[in-house]
Structure 1
Amino acid sequence: MGFDYALVHLTYTIPPAALLSLVYFPLCTRLDLYRIAFLITIAVVSTIPWDSYLIRNNIWSYPPTVIVGPTLFSIPLEEVFFFVIQTYNTSLLYLLTSKPVLKEAYLVKEGSGTQGQKWRYIKMGGQLVLALALKKAIDFVKSEGENTYLGLILVWALPFLLLLWSLAYQLILRLPRACTVLPIALPTVYLWVVDTLALKRGTWVIEAGTKTGLTLWPGLEIEEALFFLLTNMLIVFGLVAFDNAVAILNAFPAHFPNVPSLPSPFLLVRALLVPALAYDDDRILGIEQATERLQNKSRSFFLASSTFQGRLRLDLIMLYSFCRVADDLIDNAASVKETKEWQQKLKKYLDLCYGPAETTKDGKVIQPKDMNRGVATRYIVQNFPPETQLTLLLLPTHRLDKEPLYELLKGFHMDLTFSDKKGSGPIRSEEDLDLYGARVAGTVALLCIQLVLYRYPGISDAKARRLMSAGHNMGIALQYTNIARDLGVDAEIGRCYVPPSWLKKEKLTSETFITGQTKAASSSEPDDFFLKKVELIRHRLLDRAFEFYSKSVGAIEELPRPARAPLRVAVESYMQIARELRRPGYKVKAGRATVPRWKRILVAWRTLLGPRPRQKEE
């Protein structure tokens, strides 16, 4: 009886598990726990017969003086625990690196054109290589010589790898390398070091005559190095296959109309067995375009989106993409005439989405939400740029009320009132600025709450109205932050959203404000007196932002539980911009405030732990 093997765990495997658990705890969901438990179960069940065979046939052994004593099918309990802890650690590392990635955007339809054919050949090529390697491994085992241990490792691992490759080869290859290579390489190298130390100490022993005698470095048998590489590949490939199945379930409602929060193993297998030829490639491309748009245009909301789950995350990304597309079409128009045309086209698009109003016999007006698909699709294809069409087609209008969307267009119309003469615009008073914020941002926040309540029903109508009202106010808070951040950027395009009464207090007009900002941006020695006035105005905007924020932030805790933490992240990630702007000595660069990536991640991590403590300034 001894404790050497137990000390390996206490020294080398349990501390990383504790650290990874601490880091990932705020991000962990029920689906993550299900995913980890699923993988650990498979790892333990599939490894025990193989490991038991190796021990019973004296291919490797554990001296009685290094183990506590109890065994399972001749396997020391410390070894069984190794199966669990290795799977747990590698799984958490994969979950950490892949959390921000929307897997649905990495699916590919096979058989559609050159690209689809290429993926079929890649799949078949991988299957052929693994099958040939498996045949060679069987020959090694049959030879019963120095390649026996190597052959037994390959004979055990390659069938699983072949299966996982066949089911999830697309995501295995297409996901960012940080999601796949890193969770394989880092634990593998770490365990190589641990294994080297254990072999030198005699904690476990590989019997002579069944091994090649080759080493990766002094003290590390080549078979052991391959074993840890393959086991970590199996864990990561298994997780990718799990995520591949979930991505298929979420991405294709035509195949899977209803998806439970914890899909059964049977449902996961059904999803993986859907032929890639049957994927909706337009839907995949639309999701990919929307995700790229979010990632490029809003780092804060992209980070926040990764904390949402399932189809709600897809809905929110498509909503953001629509808002971004509509805003860009109008802002990037070459003339006022073209801007008005885009507004009319967007309005027509919404009219087709929601259809004409119907009146019942008792006089009640009903607005149908079912899009006339044929008419709307033709209109979109004929009137909108190709890169915007899928976003318009995939906007979940049947889950959204039409009024906020029409109000959003009215907000864009307010921007249209900025004339060629710098300074004139829609903001004549503080009330106008509130109205503008309500239309361009309050509406979007309200729509987000609608999507949350659709995906997580069960809240009373009165509470739903209160939550949507709070969301509307929060949207205004975020818009005030946005205006405060972009004072210089807006001035460059001749826009000033600051109410005239605020400017007058600083002895400025909208014209002098825009001119001063433009000069400050191009001058190496800007006017400090003018910049102090700008900062006073900026802080007044931020005061207003925090006023609306304080009115509504508490309502987040009344939302359905799965949506609380993600919406906290969405709000606090953006409000961190406001806090940065308030920080003494903070310098706005290129007319815009930014938050360092490490700080955005830290804010998100803290926010996931619970509501942010209220501060006096808020």
Structure 2
Amino acid sequence: MYDYAWVHVVYTIPIALFLSVVLAPLLTRLDVYKICFLVVVAFSYTLPWDSYLVRNRIWTYPSEAVIGPTLFSVPIEELFFFIVQTYITTCLHILLNKPVLNAIHLHNEHTQGKFRVQKRMGQVFFAACFVVPLLLPTDHREGTYMKLIICWVAPIFYMLWTFGYQLLLSLPASKTLLPIAVPTLFLWVVDTLALQRGTWSIESGTKLGIHVWPHLEIEEAMFFLVTNSMIVMGSCAFDNAAAILDAFPSLFPNVPGMPSPLLMLQGLFTSTSRYDQDRLVGLRNALVVLSKKSRSFYLASGVFSGRLRIDLILLYGFCRVADDLIDDAASAEEAESWIAHFTNFLDVMYSSHRDSARLEKALVPFPPSAQTILRLLPAEKLPSQPLYALLDGFRMDLDFTNEKSTGHPPIQTENDLEKYATCVAATIGELCLSLVYAHDPDQHYPGAHDNREECTQAGINMGRVLQYINIVRDVKTDAETGRCYIPNQWLAKKSLTPHEREQEILDCRQRILTGAFVTYAANRDAIEELPAYAKGGIRVAVESYVEIGRVLRSRMQNGQPLDFAGGGKAGRASVPKWRRVWVGWRTMAGKRGSI
């Protein structure tokens, strides 16, 4: 009795609820928009076709297996299947693609013609899938259901391939094939059980009589495969449109948080020859730097969305390029020259007389890959002072080289330590929040940014916290490069045994870490006052790094060594990937770690 309803109660609804719980903390407004959009489209396109099949008795439902209400002869349980299948597959696709920045998978086909060829090949294939079944003889009714499936999906495949082929060709298979394969296999099992129980059936005169396995008709297997493929391709086409709008401010100056279908179609119909290839290359290079140099921020970047995510990646790319070129310089003189080059670059970027010729001249000393990143620095949204202060922090690092001749360590007092942390990290907090406020989709509402000054100051303080944790973590590796960020005044001037010196260093590390957590406790509530669309990402960025501090604190309390390999560089405390993902999810769900 009511077998079809029980299929949903036992199988589809629990999976949908599970995905809802897992994905809910990570969903953006654009994700919700996409889910609703795809559900409406799938329902609207499937209903007439399904109604035709039922009315022509290509498939049927025993009266005792359904509750009774119908729409155009389609049972209410079947209507719900349209919705729940689309929801499940779309949610899985969103979850698997959270780390992906879709913009880097766009290509200007004027410079990369292979994509144009592959696009045409796909279009020809899907056009043939639609035309060929229509040309087959119609006197054999046995293949009717398969023919109707192919003719129904082929036009949609053609359209979705045309709109989303760049992502479909460029994304890893785990981001496209996996969200098709998993729901398809699950629904094959559900369908097998339903066909075996007689919950629904295909009329014998309209099917080929081929089984994938016992009780699973080839037509049903094909139906679930192509419908899940349509959903994933539709999700990719949606992502492709959003990526185009986000990636090219010169083509689309103003993009709302939830762009209209008309604006998204405008993006999809934009010729790829208009794509700024230099911008795409610079963005790819910046993301590579991010993924290699900061796993915590790379994790957090997946929680941000739209142009804010892109600009944060470009800002971080600038910081990492500067840090690598200056820190890896062969001599103090070379490092000083790099600081001079970066100073000149910022002078040009923030000059009222900036022009492309001066900018290109300022970029000449930098390696080509660095040039692609620096050129994209979103200076118009960033205050200049923190960027210059960042260079001051690099100058303080150079003082360690001069320490051998002067005999005066650059970090003498706790104030020196705070000054250094302010230059190299608090500035990043201020710059990140500048981008958050610049991209806030709700900034036009009255009072939206009334607390901006307080939040910015908290961001500056939190930047110091993260740098203090970084210093405590890297004492050993910093010492190997001749640097010690522990204030010199904290260290005993008398001779100590190796064990006594080790204990002294441990006490200093604990002192810095304790101060970091005190500052963290005083400022973390300010995150909740940030613009709603960005606070989750800021939470993850902070908490995933503070988790390293918690690991260090725990090891201190348990008398364990602090200098160990925990998934990162040898000698550095690190948080395993699974734990960083868990911390990120828990943080997005509103659960905060211990102070």
TM-score, structure 1 normalization: 0.91
Give me the whole-angstrom Cα distance separating, in 1, the residues matched to 2:179 and 2:495. 59
Is the Cα–Cα contact under 8 Å of residues 341 and 362 in structure 2 kept in the other structure?
no
What's 1:522 paired with?
none
In the TM superposition, residue 425 of structure 1 has moved relative to its aligned partner by 3.6
What's 2:510 paired with?
539
The count of residues paired between Structure 1 and Structure 2 equals 580
Give me the whole-angstrom Cα distance separating, in 1, the residues matched to 2:15 and 2:390. 49
Is the Cα–Cα contact under 8 Å of residues 506 and 533 in structure 1 kept in the other structure?
no
Alpha carbons of structure 1 residues 462 and 29: separation in structure 2 relative to 1, 3 Å:
closer
1:150 is aligned to 2:139: no
Give me the whole-angstrom Cα distance separating, in 1, the residues matched to 2:389 and 2:301. 24
Deviations 1:377-423 (A, max 9, x none): 2321x221001001111000011111111111000110111127668
Is the Cα–Cα contact under 8 Å of residues 568 and 611 in structure 1 kept in the other structure?
no
- Within-5 A mapping of 1:270-285: 270-285=266-281
Give me the whole-angstrom Cα distance separating, in 2, the residues matched to 1:528 and 1:39. 65
- Within-5 A mapping of 1:53-132: 53-112=52-111, 116-132=112-128
Q: 465, 468, 471: which is aligned to 1:480?
A: 468
Is the Cα–Cα contact under 8 Å of residues 403 and 409 in structure 2 kept in the other structure?
no
Give me the whole-angstrom Cα distance separating, in 1, the residues matched to 2:403 and 2:307. 45
What residue identity is the alignment partner of 2:507? L
In the TM superposition, residue 137 of structure 1 has moved relative to its aligned partner by 2.5
What residue identity is the alignment partner of 2:459? G
Give me the whole-angstrom Cα distance separating, in 2, the residues matched to 1:581 and 1:138. 68
What's 1:610 paired with?
590
In the TM superposition, residue 147 of structure 1 has moved relative to its aligned partner by 1.6
Alpha carbons of structure 1 residues 431 and 152: separation in structure 2 relative to 1, 3 Å:
same
Q: 145, 153, 158: which is aligned to 1:162?
A: 158
Deviations 1:143-192 (A, max 9, x none): 54322111100101111011111111010121122211111000000000
What's 1:383 paired with?
365
What residue identity is the alignment partner of 2:248? F
What residue identity is the alignment partner of 2:75? P
In the TM superposition, residue 65 of structure 1 has moved relative to its aligned partner by 1.4
- Within-5 A mapping of 1:246-257: 246-257=242-253
What's 1:518 paired with?
none
Q: 393, 411, 414: which is aligned to 1:411?
A: 393
In the TM superposition, residue 507 of structure 1 has moved relative to its aligned partner by 6.0
1:493 is aligned to 2:473: no
Give me the whole-angstrom Cα distance separating, in 2, the residues matched to 1:125 and 1:462. 55
What's 1:214 paired with?
210
In the TM superposition, residue 547 of structure 1 has moved relative to its aligned partner by 2.4
Give me the whole-angstrom Cα distance separating, in 1, the residues matched to 2:155 and 2:94. 24
- Within-5 A mapping of 1:283-294: 283-294=279-290
What's 1:188 paired with?
184
Is the Cα–Cα contact under 8 Å of residues 140 and 151 in structure 1 kept in the other structure?
no
In the TM superposition, residue 503 of structure 1 has moved relative to its aligned partner by 2.5
Deviates further, 337-346 or 602-611? 602-611
Give me the whole-angstrom Cα distance separating, in 2, the residues matched to 1:283 and 1:142. 53
What's 2:44 paired with?
45
Give me the whole-angstrom Cα distance separating, in 1, the residues matched to 2:139 and 2:384. 72
Deviates further, 46-55 or 487-496? 487-496
In the TM superposition, residue 212 of structure 1 has moved relative to its aligned partner by 1.0
What residue identity is the alignment partner of 1:470? A
Is the Cα–Cα contact under 8 Å of residues 478 and 484 in structure 2 kept in the other structure?
yes
What's 1:599 paired with?
579
Give me the whole-angstrom Cα distance separating, in 2, the residues matched to 1:35 and 1:59. 32
Deviations 1:580-609 (A, max 9, x none): 111134552222011011111111111112
What residue identity is the alignment partner of 1:409? L
Deviates further, 208-217 or 547-556? 547-556
Alpha carbons of structure 1 residues 185 and 137: separation in structure 2 relative to 1, 3 Å:
same
Give me the whole-angstrom Cα distance separating, in 1, the residues matched to 2:10 and 2:453. 54
Alpha carbons of structure 1 residues 272 and 460: separation in structure 2 relative to 1, 3 Å:
closer
Is the Cα–Cα contact under 8 Å of residues 141 and 147 in structure 1 kept in the other structure?
no
Alpha carbons of structure 1 residues 378 and 565: separation in structure 2 relative to 1, 3 Å:
same
What's 2:529 paired with?
558
Q: 171, 174, 179: which is aligned to 1:178?
A: 174
What residue identity is the alignment partner of 2:438? Y
Is the Cα–Cα contact under 8 Å of residues 481 and 542 in structure 1 kept in the other structure?
yes
In the TM superposition, residue 551 of structure 1 has moved relative to its aligned partner by 2.9
SS at match of 1:307: coil
1:431 is aligned to 2:411: no
Give me the whole-angstrom Cα distance separating, in 2, the residues matched to 1:140 and 1:312. 52
In the TM superposition, residue 428 of structure 1 has moved relative to its aligned partner by 1.0
Alpha carbons of structure 1 residues 392 and 604: separation in structure 2 relative to 1, 3 Å:
same
What's 1:446 paired with?
430
SS at match of 1:418: helix
Give me the whole-angstrom Cα distance separating, in 2, the residues matched to 1:292 and 1:75. 50
Deviates further, 127-136 or 301-310? 127-136
Q: 377, 380, 386: which is aligned to 1:395?
A: 377
What residue identity is the alignment partner of 2:174? A
Give me the whole-angstrom Cα distance separating, in 2, the residues matched to 1:276 and 1:144. 45
Alpha carbons of structure 1 residues 251 and 187: separation in structure 2 relative to 1, 3 Å:
same
In the TM superposition, residue 424 of structure 1 has moved relative to its aligned partner by 5.4
Give me the whole-angstrom Cα distance separating, in 2, the residues matched to 1:328 and 1:145. 69
In the TM superposition, residue 25 of structure 1 has moved relative to its aligned partner by 1.0
1:502 is aligned to 2:490: yes
SS at match of 2:205: coil
Alpha carbons of structure 1 residues 142 and 288: separation in structure 2 relative to 1, 3 Å:
farther
Runs of 5+ unmatched residues, structure 1: 356-367, 513-526
What's 1:358 paired with?
none
Is the Cα–Cα contact under 8 Å of residues 409 and 488 in structure 2 kept in the other structure?
no
Alpha carbons of structure 1 residues 254 and 411: separation in structure 2 relative to 1, 3 Å:
same
What residue identity is the alignment partner of 1:594? S
Q: 246, 262, 278: which is aligned to 1:266?
A: 262
Give me the whole-angstrom Cα distance separating, in 2, the residues matched to 1:128 and 1:425. 70
What's 1:203 paired with?
199
1:236 is aligned to 2:232: yes
Give me the whole-angstrom Cα distance separating, in 2, the residues matched to 1:157 and 1:168. 16
Is the Cα–Cα contact under 8 Å of residues 433 and 456 in structure 2 kept in the other structure?
yes
Give me the whole-angstrom Cα distance separating, in 2, the residues matched to 1:390 and 1:506. 51
In the TM superposition, residue 533 of structure 1 has moved relative to its aligned partner by 4.0
In the TM superposition, residue 462 of structure 1 has moved relative to its aligned partner by 6.7
What residue identity is the alignment partner of 1:604? G
Among all aligned residue pairs of Structure 1 and Structure 2, give the percentage whose two residues are the same amino acid: 49
Is the Cα–Cα contact under 8 Å of residues 127 and 158 in structure 2 kept in the other structure?
yes
Deviations 1:5-54 (A, max 9, x none): 00000011000011111111111122111110000000000001111111
Give me the whole-angstrom Cα distance separating, in 1, the residues matched to 2:137 and 2:219. 14
Is the Cα–Cα contact under 8 Å of residues 11 and 190 in structure 2 kept in the other structure?
yes
Deviates further, 499-508 or 474-483? 499-508
In the TM superposition, residue 460 of structure 1 has moved relative to its aligned partner by 7.6
What's 1:361 paired with?
none
Give me the whole-angstrom Cα distance separating, in 2, the residues matched to 1:167 and 1:293. 30
Alpha carbons of structure 1 residues 530 and 211: separation in structure 2 relative to 1, 3 Å:
farther
Give me the whole-angstrom Cα distance separating, in 1, the residues matched to 2:541 and 2:229. 34
Give me the whole-angstrom Cα distance separating, in 1, the residues matched to 2:522 and 2:493. 27
Deviates further, 197-206 or 413-422? 413-422
Alpha carbons of structure 1 residues 610 and 141: separation in structure 2 relative to 1, 3 Å:
farther
SS at match of 2:142: coil
Give me the whole-angstrom Cα distance separating, in 1, the residues matched to 2:509 and 2:131. 70
What's 1:567 paired with?
538
Give me the whole-angstrom Cα distance separating, in 1, the residues matched to 2:518 and 2:32. 39
Deviations 1:178-210 (A, max 9, x none): 211111000000000000010111111101121
Give me the whole-angstrom Cα distance separating, in 2, the residues matched to 1:352 and 1:551. 38
SS at match of 1:203: coil
Give me the whole-angstrom Cα distance separating, in 1, the residues matched to 2:176 and 2:494. 56
